Every structure is written in C-alpha cells, then in structure tokens.
Structure 1
C-alpha cells in the first residue's frame, strides 16, 4: 500500500487498484481520532492516539463510534482496513474525496459516502465536505475531511440520553448521522429563500449588472447542490430496500423518514432553480423596460426638435430676399413658432399616453 497526501486524481493513473492515496484538498494536516462507546447503562467518550486504542472495544457488546477527522494520513485508514477486514477499494474510495454519493453492501459491513453541505458565508456560498461511513455490527466509523461540529448534537444526545439512541444498535447510529447530514440542507434552503426574496425586491426597484452576477453565482451553487444531493435519493432508497442483517426492521421507519427529507430537499432545489430562471427573466425584462423608457424619452425629444430643426434650417439659408429678415418682429416671431410647435407636440404626446 502507498500513502501520500494531497494528490490530484491524475496522479493515480497507472497505480494498482486499492492504492491508498489521499485525493483532494488537505483541510487539516493532522488527523483527529475520537471514540464514543455506549450502551444502555454507560457512555465513554475519549480521544485516540491510534486505531490500536479502539481494538479493545471490538469484543464488547456496546456500540462503538469512531470519528476520523482529516484524511491526510492515509496510514490510519489503512490500519482500520487491516484490523476490521475492510476491502482495499473501499479504503481507496474513502481517501478519494471526489466520490459520488452511494451505498455499498458487503458481507460484514455497509459503506456509505455522501456530501455534507454547510453555508460558508452570508453571500450564499456553500462549503462541501465528503463524509464516509463504515457500519459494522457494533462499530461505526465516520471519516470526515474537516474538524468541525457536524456530529456534535448526535454525540450530545448519546452522552445525555438513556433512551432510544442508547438502546438501539449501530444501524440507528448510522441513521442519526445520515439524518444530521441531510437535515443541514434545510437550513441552506431557508437561507436561499431569504437571499432570493431580497434579490427579487432589488431587481424590481433598481436592477444593476451586479445583480446579474449574483444570480449567476447563486445558480452555480444551486447546480452544485443538486449534483451532490440528487444521488442521495438513490442511496436512501437502496437503504430501504437493503436486505442486510445490519439494518433491523425497526430502523426502516427512520430511514424512510430520511428518504422523505431527501425528496423534499430535491423538490425544493428544483423549485429554486425555476425561481432563479424567473429572476433572470425578470432582470432582463426590467433592464429592457428601463432601456425602453430611456429610448422613449429620447424619441420624444427627437420628435419635438425635428420640426424646430426644419424651421431653423429654412431661416438659416442664405437667400437674398427673405421678407422676415427685414421685419422688426421676425426674431420673436420665430421663437413663438418654436414654442407653439413644441407645446402642441408635448400635449399631443401626453394625450396619447406616451409621456
């Protein structure tokens, strides 16, 4: 096995299947290992210096949850594979952070990979993190790219609760982690609602080129969301259809709830895509309407000055005999003609509703 960090996908070309190379951004150079071991009557939470520290929990009847945060050190993933008999291709997929969400069923374990989405700032930029789960009979491994508080609420529930989460098995823990990842998307969609509502108001009041850039940026983020979340529909459906002994019938109802949430999120994303397309049409219509207003004003001014230019052109000619040139009131008379023509045209346009 090879261990290497921060490698591009192209660098794996020609290597043997199952070569353990980290592919993707290195968010943390160090890998953090935490363990929670629990049953109905006890809960132990600790940090691990290596996977060897978790091996003593393997033969116990309790549920053990190990979280690996930071994938730069491929040797840790390799050690898990050796001690828990995980297929090298699964380990390879864990270290490749460009995986499509999927479920793989093996004889003794389940492998699940999906993307965790979280808002990055107030401008509706989304941060993405790949999360991989290996579910065994009494062990659950969670592999994360970043050190964050993604699963903190699940850990708190386990630590403080003596109810369902403590009494059920590793499949229920798997459900809790999936539910946490999926439900994060509702917060993103709420932020998207607020962003689009504010953007719609601005477009109607004063459309600017910067709004067009913002619509384009949001549309790209929504497309990314759709790309990462749409496959989760198949993942959750496959979990419902799974005949693995690791998933108890009592857990199916909770997995069905996750599937329903995924469907709602996908439908909401499609709705927001339509809204973004409508906002783009509204922006273009507003800009076109604004341009039409400007062109209408310019056209009205042109229409008023055309006859004035005609009159001025006549009196600007160098004819020798022009009676008005010798007339005492010739100059004021021309101005009266100008004002009369301009006023008449203005009231004519106003009567037509053009101004």
Structure 2
C-alpha cells in the first residue's frame, strides 16, 4: 500500500502548468510544497525556495521573464535551448548550466533506468533561491532523489547545500551508464572472433560515438563545477565546497574512464579489421586453390574440345581413359603442391 508521501508526491508533481514542483525548505532537512500563489507570495524572509520548471513551457518562460525578476541576460540564458555546461557569477548569484542523465519518466515506465543521453539542467542559485529548469520531455532522477529526501526530512538545508547535492547526484547517475558501456565493450571483445562482423562493427561505431558525446559535455562540466568550488559566494560554505571537490574528483575519474572506453573501442575496431582481413585472405586462398585444382582439367578440356582437325585419340577407344587418368594424376599433384606451400 502506498504511503501518504508517495500519494502527495504523485498528485503535486506537475500539477501547475510549466511547474514541476515548488518547495520551501524549512532549514532542517524538510520542505513544504507551494502552489503558484505560494510562489508569487514568497519573500526571502520565508526561507530558501526551490522551483523546478519546464524550460520549454510558456508559463515557465513567463515566470522567468516577469516574476523571477532576473537580469535580462540571465533570463535569456535560463531559457536558451542549446547549451554547454558553464558557470557565470551574476551579482550575488550563480547562473549554472549542467548536464544530467536523462531517464524514463515514471509516467512511461514503472522502473526508470538511465539512458546515455545527457540533457541540460539550467540553474539559478543565490542565498534564497534555487531555480532549476529542464525540458518537459526529459526526466532527471537526481532531482527526484533530492526531492524524496526533502519529503522525508533528510534533504538539504541551504541553497549551497542543495547546489552541492544536485552536482553530486548528477555525477552519481553517470556511473551505471559507464558500467553498461564497459560491459558492452567486454561483450564485443568476445564477439569479434565468433560473432557477426557487421553487428560488431555497427555496435562499436555507436559505442565510440556515445563515449565521444559524453566526454564532450563532461569535460566542460568538470570545469563548471570547479569554478563553483572556487567561487567566493558567501552562501557556499566550506562543507559545500568539500562536497563539490569530491564530485569533481569523481567526474575526473569518469572522464578518464570514458577515454579508456574510447581507446578500447579503437583497439577493438583495429582487431575487427584484422580479423576481417584474415577472413578475406583465407577465403581468397581457398578460391585460388580451387582455381589451381581446376586448372589441369580445364586446360585438357579446352584443348580436346576445340572443333578443329588433328585432335589425337579421336578413333582410339583408350583415349578417354588415358585423359581421365592424366587429369586425375595432375589434380592430385596440384593438391600435393598446394598443401606443401600451405594454401590448404
């Protein structure tokens, strides 16, 4: 039987157009959910608020441009479609763009599982507000886990704490993706010598493309998190920076892991090319050997099959047997020669 918290979470998640949820942190690890009226009535004195919006929804865009009271450049960056991970300090806050693993939403699957797509998460963080935006078609499990912790009273207590936790969870979700890629490399390594070459080549190509795509975003994400760690914002305490330092270290290991996967796929591709070349050479040798075996009969048949006069043995009853014996002896001799030179 479902708990009351689970029922509340399901009903309130995405109840307002363009707003996935709005939480008011109580400073003790818990939260209180707000509706649109509560969002508009919120004041900094009420505590830290966390708003999670749909970037591509008109209602969310209207709130960012009007109710959010952001600098126009900040509003434009928060609503931008194609972005790479980066961090920009603006007055007392930070404009942050990170990438997280896109998973299947609870509405589409009972058990969400991580995919290899990295989707943008736009953030504005200051001492009193954390505003996060993602596209409506995306689902990031990192935010779900933080929200579940807040509902249990075991979540972050400050904006800096929440930011560090978001970075930690985003990087954490990369690990199963990289593990799955590593297992696929091991599987392809076994398939090279016994599997279908076309299938192995196609999977290697996709795997290498995925590793390059992931690294394309993880390298700047590492730089972005490093910049957050070294920022002098007063709401980032030493504990938050320590957690970010651990996240950066883990992300660096993941980047090295991706480099290793990319190198392994390159080696496997070379091995596959070698195996295919050996198969082609072996088949070519077999065809050449078959042609050599058929050469004596072909020559004899060609000579005695000419429609001209003077062909010997036309009236000899033993001529056919002699020709067959000659062809057999020459074929056996050719076979022996081919075996001696290693073609068969």
Displacement of 1:131: 0.5
The aligned runs of 1:1-355 (5 Å cut-off) are 30-39=17-26, 41=28, 43-49=30-36, 53=39, 55-60=41-46, 62-73=47-58, 74-82=61-69, 86-118=70-102, 126-146=116-136, 148=139, 150=141, 151-162=143-154, 165-166=155-156, 168-317=157-306, 320-355=309-344
Distance in 2 (CA, whole Å) between partners of 1:79 and 1:347 is 90
Aligned to 2:13: none
8 Å CA contact 1:131–1:144 kept in 2: the answer is: yes
**Aligned residue number for residue 11 of structure 2:** none
CA distance in 1, matches of 2:130, 2:215: 28
CA RMSD in angstroms comes to 2.7
User: Which runs of 5 or more structure 2 residues have no equivalent in the other structure?
Assistant: 1-15
DSSP 3-state at the match of 1:326: coil
Distance 1:257 1:125 in 2: 24
- Using the TM superposition, name which of 329-338 and 216-225 deviates more: 216-225
Q: Aligned partners of 2:309 and 2:83: how far apart in 1?
A: 91
Distance 2:134 2:308 in 1: 92
The Cα offsets for residues 238-274 of structure 1, whole Å up to 9 and x where unpaired, read as: 1222222121122221010110121112111212221
Q: TM-score, normalised by structure 1?
A: 0.80
Report the CA distance between 1:190 and its aligned residue. 1.5
TM-score (norm 2): 0.82
Change (3 A) 1:184 1:325: same
Does the CA-based 8 Å contact 2:28-2:153 persist in structure 1?
A: no
Task: Tell me whether 289-298 or 68-77 shows the greater mean CA deviation.
Answer: 68-77
* Partner residue, 2:12: none
CA distance in 2, matches of 1:57, 1:268: 45
List structure 1 segments (4+ residues) > 4 angstroms apart after TM superposition.
Answer: 317-323
> Structure 1 residues 313 and 348, CA, compared in 2 at 3 Å: closer, same or farther?
same
- Structure 1 gap ranges (5+): 1-28
TM superposition shift of 1:42: 6.9
Tell me how far 1:319 sits from its aligned partner.
6.2
CA distance in 2, matches of 1:303, 1:33: 75
Could you tell me whether the CA contact under 8 Å between 2:85 and 2:221 is conserved in 1? yes
| Cα contact 2:204–2:265 (8 A) shared by 1 | yes
Contact map agreement 1:113 1:133 (CA 8 A) in 2:
yes
Deviations 1:178-237 (A, max 9, x none): 111122221211121222233333332234434433333333332221221110121122
What's the CA shift string for 1:78-126, capped at 9, x where partnerless? 13432xxx221111011112112111112221111012233679xx973
